[in-house]
Amino acid sequence: MLRDKKDLVRNYIASIPFDWRLYRQDIRGSIAHVKMLSKQGIIADSDAKTIIDGLSSIRQEIEQGKLQFRTELEDIHMNIEARLFEKVGDVAGKLHTARSRNDQVVLDLRLFLKEETLKTINEIALLQCSLVELAEANKLVIMPGYTHLQQAQPILLAHHFLAYFDMFQRDKERFHHSLKHTDVLPLGSGALAGVSYPIDRQFIAQELGFSQVSTNSIDAVSDRDFVVEYQAAAALIMMHLSRLAEEIVLWSSAEFGFIEIDASYTTGSSIMPQKKNPDVAELARGKTGRVYGNLIAILTTMKALPLAYNRDMQEDKEGLFDTVGTVYSSLKIFAGMVKTIKVNVKRIHDAMKRDYILATDLADYLVKKGLPFREAHNVMRKLSECAIISDRNFREISLDEYHSFSPLFDQDVYDITLESSVAARNIAGGTSPQQVEAALTRARKLLENKCGK
């Protein structure tokens, strides 16, 4: 029974089942630390070489699948150190000089997240490339813009796609911001109070590529803000992907039929052979909830912890690893899926056969003739009701009928078209062809030649 309890506790506190993936960062950090100890004369050069050779050999063993991780050693740090003792003997004990597991753990996590944040940023750029390509191919296609999922005003399809480009640009900026706060060296903080050896933290920072060194040892070992920031940025980008996914699901349905996505991003039905289910897009919506959950989990873990380190912080990794993998795979698959989108221009045009979507343009027409907007709005509300009840387009209404609603209507009212509507929105951020072309130029500049790589 006692053995069972010990096994239960051992398995409960062990993090090796998930933190093994930090082995590269752990070994890299240890090698930099040993180099510094040697440089500072804290350990002999020969001992440093022995340790570094041993660590390099352990990395090879792990990558070749030859090292069996042991749960009783709890985590990746102790597993590597134990193996180092087996390989080089007692000199391995010098590795942990001037270092605690507290600053070692957070070092590994920061190294990991720095790498993954850069990968995330790159994948966002590739998705943006796909959106720009799709917008370029459809930059003169007019579609209905929606509010409340009801047709509102004509817009260019490219303008719609570029709205997502801007969302993802903000996401990129958020990840760059979180990267700045991740790029801080904690090693040298010890357990919480710093270390009593004459170490050179700037040397380690340069070896590991950190631009900053932490300024408070207590904060350094207890800070997980950088994890929260990544998770928050990840939650936002998954929200944006989920919105895009929702429109892909809607637009590829028989009811809309605006787009078709490649069969490789859909699945069939077990009993209905005609089906092309947009499962990839649907799963992105579902996975968004997981990423939200991981953000709430780390916030909840950290919300009441006293300074400095507490074992609760071990819970910072599983959710983070899950989020990193989910965001990366989602971005990668969306970049590919967006490239396959085929636009059904005829179906989009047919959706606007009834030109009630031009009601705002007709109201603006009256305003330009001198009518206050609220009065113009009221005129068009009544005119729209008349057209809908009589099942006619605005173009099918005679000029005499127009005059019954307002004497300001003239023959030029028939010049208002879908094309004139989008062309009229020629202001910064608008949907006119000129503004969309400018937006595409800006987007290509922001991508800095990343497309096509």
The catalytic residue positions are 148, 269
Q: How far apart are CA 98 and CA 195, in angstroms?
A: 6
- Strands 259-260 and 212-213, bridge-based pairing: unpaired
What is the number of H-type helices and E-type strands within the chain?
A: 18, 6
Q: Which residues of 69-97 are buried (b: 16+ CB within 10 A; e: fewer)?
A: beeebbbbbbbbbebbeebbeebbebbee
CA-to-CA separations, 121 to 16, 114, 182, 317, 328, in angstroms, rounded:
28, 11, 14, 20, 9
The H-or-E segment that residue 8 falls in is helix 2-13
Per-residue tokens: 425: 């929105």
Q: Cβ atoms within 10 A of the Cβ of 190, count?
A: 21
Q: Which amino acid, one-letter code, is at 166?
A: D
| Closest to 52 in 3D by CA, of 67, 39, 71, 65 | 39
425 phi/psi in degrees, rounded to 5: -85, 50
Do residues 195 and 33 make contact, with C-beta atoms less than 8 angstroms apart?
no
Kindly give the pairing relationship between strand 142-147 and strand 259-260: unpaired
Strands (E), 328-372: 342-343
151: DSSP letter = E
The one-letter amino acid at 247: E
**Token pair for 327:** 């965001």
Closest CA to 294 of 319, 261, 265, 330: 319
Q: 127 with 171: CB under 8 angstroms? A: no
Dist. CA 64–CA 96, nearest whole Å: 26
Q: Decide: 423 and 154 in contact? Cβ < 8 Å.
A: no
Three-state DSSP state, 147:
strand
Return the DSSP state at 306: P
Q: Which residues contact 350 (CB under 8 A, 6 or more apart)?
A: none
